Amino acid sequence: MPPELADEPCEACTSEDEPLTESEYRGYLADLDGDVWDVVDDHHLEGAYEFDDFRDALEFTYEVGELAEEEWHHPDIHLQWGEVTVELWTHKIDGLHKTDFVMAARMDRIHDDYAPSEA
Residue 118 located in a structural domain: no
Cα 9 from Cα 41, distance rounded (Å): 25
CATH number of the structural domain spanning residue 87: 3.30.1360.20
Cα 62 from Cα 104, distance rounded (Å): 15
Cα 53 from Cα 57, distance rounded (Å): 7
Range of the domain at 96: 16-113
Residue 119 located in a structural domain: no
Structurally, the chain folds into a number of domains equal to: 1
What's the pTM? 0.92
Cα 91 from Cα 2, distance rounded (Å): 28
Residue 87 located in a structural domain: yes
Confirm if 49 and 86 have CB atoms less than 8 A apart.
yes
Per-residue pLDDT of the chain (119 residues; tens, 9 = 90+): 356 999 999 998 888 999 999 999 999 999 999 999 999 999 999 999 999 999 999 999 999 999 999 999 999 999 999 999 999 999 999 999 999 999 999 999 999 998 666 55
Residue 83 located in a structural domain: yes
Residue 89 located in a structural domain: yes
